[in-house]
Structure 1
Amino acid sequence: MATDQRLRLPIGIQTFSEIREGGYYYVDKTPIIERLVHQNKYYFLSRPRRFGKSLLLDTLRCLFEGRRSLFEGLYIHDRWDWETVHPVIRLSFGSGVMRSRDELDERIRHQLRKHRERRTLFTHLRNHDLAGLENHLKSLYAGLPHDWYRNNPIAQYEGHYASVFYSHFAALGGQVTVEDSSHHGKVDMAVDFAGHIYLFEFKVVEQLPEGKALEQIKARGYADKYRATGKPIHLIGVEFSRERRQIVAFDVETIRA
């Protein structure tokens, strides 16, 4: 994460990735974190406010989710097993006051539902189960509120559908690159996760699939830049129907290492 630009002080920033990618100073606390991980099992952090508890927890989340690039140049980078990725459940109650037990229970249930969605996606990717991944993503689009589309043309735009993909994949902690450049253009999204490469191209069609998304990945050689990694590469062409507001094609081809 080295940089030649003048670094800024990370005042009030509680997100590890923002500090590491945004040009801020970071004092390497990963030697302490390594000891925390290996010495005991349960911790209660009781330090005063504004002493970095939230940043510490977010750093631990990034570490267990295997976000290796964020730790380049830090003590723990060469001392961590990056091939082993763990799902992380984080419950937060900092967004408002809960005035009853019912409100508390509902807040917990809501967060657990979100974690379950992430866990399901994580499991499909971890097992390289692309059929399961397709079904999971279809269920996400089926659950989008009808009111989002009322008097709103977002169903016509590729970016609407792609944003759902990006937000879920980014939440898993894998390396996600949008508009990933190569010698013949840009693939819409590239994901490096658990030893596999996933290349996604998105297209919006009227109703029926046309096969153009996968065709573009192959014709423009988007996979070429990844062949030297030795990792399996999955080419995935996803087409969305503006009429049905749903995935109508999820075409996959795999290039084995």
Structure 2
Amino acid sequence: MNKSSRLFLWIFLLGALALQAQTTLAVSRFENHTGKMKYDGWERAFASLMRLHLGNNDEVLILDRSRMEPLLKEQALSQSGLLDSVRSIGHLLGADFIVSGSLEWDNGLLIVTADMIRVKTGQLITEQVSARGHRDKMAAVLAHNLLYRLGLEETYRTGDRVLSSDVWYWSGAFALSSAAALYFDRRYKEQYSLYRETGSLADFDSYYNNANNSRNWSYILGGAALVSLSGALIRWFKSDSENVIRAGGRIKTETSLYMVPNETFNLGLVIHF
């Protein structure tokens, strides 16, 4: 075997080992159980975001959706059906884990639940996030915590905080009105100084009027700055309740049976977060 052939063989072996070291995930759609039509578009979109965030980890290999969905349709499997046929589906897909989920609505909060099924054992890992929207942020937190359960992230994220766009609007208005108020205040001082120093009667009225107008504008814009600052602070504190993404929560442990083809049953421990 010549040198180039050995080099090619080493590259091939290293590539094969790298692929084996990766965890393979198949992500199915997230079913809309909210009863709200506006979340129908989230079913595929949220799954796509989960693929994106999970796939950002170099140790994860995401199966292509076009390969997965025809198989699920052919098998006529629902979310509960995945539990019953987890080994056969996982084998057909070549996946280590299958991720599916649901969207629910409770007291003004959107709750997204992700079920990650370990193909070999039928173990079910459930993660959950709740918020008033913010689809991408919710998917990022959910994906991060699933990776944590796989040992691919060092920390568990208990949530995230999304700054309301209103806060940025009010903050921008505060910055602009403050800058304008400072400009007119400086102009007032300059014109008033010239008014005090001038010896020309013709310039006397001009400096006085300019100083007076500048002072009035500085007061008006200063008031606008205070209103804008108040609006920004109100929206900031209000965003604590409106724009917070929470993950985890209470822990519920129960024993469940997962039926597997050509097997009697597997006894698994289900942990809900």
TM-score range, shorter chain: under 0.3
Structure having the larger proportion of residues in strand: 2
Compare relative contact order (CA 8 Å, sep 6+) and give the higher one, 1 or 2.
Answer: 2
TM-score in terms of structure 2 length: 0.25
Larger radius of gyration: 2
Higher helix proportion: 2
TM-score by length of 1: 0.26
